[in-house]
């Protein structure tokens, strides 16, 4: 709880400074923030429990007296909406060179996580480096980018991509894919929701993409 409060205070301070310096957003229509359901960071259409990151953003903008709306779409569509400047911002975006071309990223993320590889609990996959996974079939989410090291790996480039993590877990348990690329907290939370926590595990010592989940703004005029 103390760590969450510290992160919230830092986030509020950073946003306050930004909006004091660029006050063009005051008095305008509510900011439209898009994201996909990504529990425990964002839960979707759940006003009582919006998720950790969504709750932080709601608190920040409430203190700033800036209205906003959250709308949930598949991730690939969310990226398209901010790139085309249909939406104002996207929540829980990782920072990549490609995305910096059409998004403003703040200095600090809303939260942090690491990317891991989920496999069936009864399976052992020898692992010393990413090359050990090259011949395996991976599952990933449409539109997701992880970090350069993972994104350039052959098994991620050739991953079977679907619109939801639950689909990937069902494919994993059915033996249709060998592993799932996902943030550790998101993977374990979804597995618990599905009642399959005792059927999955992560590949030991394979931890990548330690980094931030950002609230990134489209490059509309005034969003700097």
Q: 145-188 pLDDT, tens per residue?
A: 998 899 999 999 999 999 999 999 999 999 999 999 999 999 99
Task: Judge whether residue 40 has pLDDT over 70.
Answer: yes
How large is the average pLDDT for residues 118-128? 96
pLDDT at 48: 76
Q: What percent of the chain has pLDDT over 90?
A: 79
> CA–CA separation, 161 vs 217, rounded Å?
26
If we measure between CA atoms, which residue out of 153, 195, 156 comes closest to residue 173? 195
Task: Judge whether residue 47 has pLDDT over 80.
Answer: no
pLDDT class of 45 with cuts at 50, 70, 90: confident
pLDDT at 49: 82
How large is the average pLDDT for residues 109-132? 96
> CA–CA separation, 204 vs 175, rounded Å?
20
How large is the average pLDDT for residues 1-8? 50
Could you tell me if 33 and 70 are in contact, meaning their C-beta atoms sit under 8 angstroms apart? yes
pLDDT at 66: 92
Phi, psi dihedrals of residue 215, rounded to the nearest 5° = -95, 105
163: CB partners within 8 A, 6+ apart: 74, 141, 142
pLDDT class of 81 with cuts at 50, 70, 90: very high
Three-state SS for 61? helix
Global pTM value: 0.81
pLDDT at 7: 55
């Amino acid at each position: 709880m103390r760590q969450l409060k510290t992160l919230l205070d830092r986030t509020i301070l950073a946003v306050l400074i930004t909006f004091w310096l660029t006050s063009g957003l005051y008095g305008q229509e509510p900011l439209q923030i898009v994201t996909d359901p990504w529990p425990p960071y964002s839960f979707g259409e759940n006003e009582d429990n919006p998720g950790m990151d969504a709750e932080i953003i709601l608190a920040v903008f409430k203190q700033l007296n800036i209205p906003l709306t959250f709308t949930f779409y598949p991730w690939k569509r969310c990226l398209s909406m901010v790139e085309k400047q249909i939406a104002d911002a996207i929540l829980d975006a990782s920072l990549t060179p490609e995305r910096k071309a059409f998004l403003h990223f703040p200095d600090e993320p809303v939260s942090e996580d690491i990317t891991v590889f989920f496999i069936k609990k009864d399976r052992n996959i020898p692992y010393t480096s990413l090359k050990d996974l090259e011949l395996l079939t991976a599952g990933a989410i449409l539109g997701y980018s992880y970090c350069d090291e993972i994104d350039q790996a052959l098994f991620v480039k050739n991953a079977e991509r679907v619109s939801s993590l639950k689909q990937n877990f069902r494919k994993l348990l059915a033996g249709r894919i060998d592993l799932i690329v996902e943030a550790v907290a998101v993977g374990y939370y979804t597995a618990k929701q599905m009642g399959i926590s005792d059927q999955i595990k992560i590949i030991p010592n394979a931890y990548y993409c330690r980094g931030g989940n950002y609230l990134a703004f489209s490059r509309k005029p005034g969003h700097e």
